[in-house]
A and B are shown apart, each in its own frame.
Chain A
């Protein structure tokens, strides 16, 4: 299995959102690959205590508002502070969804100091299937805004939609993406 580079998007100008849409600017997000990965490099929040995440549009809502595809998900985290305290792991109920249509969090409370950001990988399987729901798995790490915790997140779930998915959007739940880069790859 090899990664094939598709596109990079940099948060130049601190955009509210970064999207990848099949069919333009050399972006393919269809049945060309059976698996896609998005690599996040130093996604820096423009607002303190913000969550970074994603939502999608399916082909029955082209150009939609990224607010109709239902997501069911789980959110685990492990954390440890810079001061050496608080080593623990647990489930975070406020960041999961049960057929929810909100932004699916991959972090939930980012610190916005100049040297602090989120990095990680999101994998989406068979987005073009018209039979199955679309499974995803994300893992990442960021600096939690409370007491400078290193917080390691494991997020997984499925987009409960049997229409193909061909548009994905990344955003903070509040405030701009101040800086950072997202690389899109096809796997296969």
Chain B
């Protein structure tokens, strides 16, 4: 996984200059605008890579609730699990929920 500094270096290399369009007129970004843009893009790219890593492999994240929602079985599947658990005395539903909670943890 790239560091923030590595992201900045990589984005600078691929975007040696940048333009903006204001009211349909194109111009080159000033040095200050360029630096701010590169810094923002690098931070976003770094954050997304960290988030993707957590989503794939699990871990602690402020976005744990969103990851859990996306990872839980559908409501229909959960109801089906609960029905079979009640008939068979199994813990399929609780196990499935616990697995997701363990993977995506509250910081």
Contact = CB atoms under 8 A, between A and B. Distances in A.
Is this pair of chains taken from one and the same complex? yes
Given A49-B48, A174-B44, A175-B41, A7 B23 contact: yes
Interface in B4-56: 11, 15, 18-26, 29, 36-37, 40-41, 44-45, 48, 51
Nearest to B66: A93
Contacts of A49: 48
B99 interface: no
A49 B51 CA distance: 12
B23 A20 contact: yes
B90 interface: no
A175 B10 CA distance: 12
Interface string A1-26: 00000011111111111111100111
B69 interface: yes
Contacts of B48: 49, 174
B20 A15 contact: yes
Contacts of A65: 36
Contacts of B29: 16
Contacts, number: 67
A174 B45 contact: yes
Given A49-B48, A173-B44, A176-B15, A15 B26 contact: yes
A25 B27 CA distance: 14
Interface string A63-92: 001000000000000000000000000101
Contacts of A16: 18-20, 29, 37
Interface in A145-188: 173-176
B65 interface: yes
A10 B19 CA distance: 13
Given A65-B36, A174-B45, A13 B23 contact: no
A64 B18 CA distance: 18
Nearest to B25: A25
Interface of A: 7-21, 24-27, 49, 65, 90, 92-94, 173-176
18 contacts: A10-B21, A11-B21, A13-B19, A15-B26, A16-B37, A17-B20, A18-B20, A20-B22, A20-B23, A25-B23, A49-B48, A65-B36, A93-B63, A94-B63, A173-B40, A174-B11, A174-B48, A176-B15
